Amino acid sequence: MKHVCALLLCLLLSVPPVFARPESPWPDWAESALSWGVERSISQEFLNAPQETVTRGEAAQLFYEAAGRPPLRGMSFF
């Protein structure tokens, strides 16, 4: 009897949960920030990895996207 119960338990544990919510990299308390980013058309590169470190160049891109991608005027190398 113990073997049958152990076998049934193993089978139940091996079945993936049907009603499980997909795991999001964003914590529940930051959902409003995620919706803000989607609303502002922030690139998925940033939205898919909220725990990653951001370089200065990526921060500049993030600010540019958050500002609505305004048109660039002229070229500046410095």
pLDDT in tens, 10-40: 666 776 666 555 567 788 888 888 888 888 8
- 11-15, 24-28, 46-50, 56-60: segment of lowest average pLDDT: 11-15
Cα–Cα distance, 67 to 40 (Å, whole number): 8
CA pair distance 77, 36, nearest whole angstrom: 31
Nearest alpha carbon to residue 70 among 38, 39, 41: 41
Per-residue tokens: 37:
């980013």
pTM of the model: 0.53
Mean pLDDT of the chain: 80
Considering only CA atoms, give the Rg of the chain: 23
Domain layout of the chain by residue ranges: 28-69
pLDDT of residue 19: 58
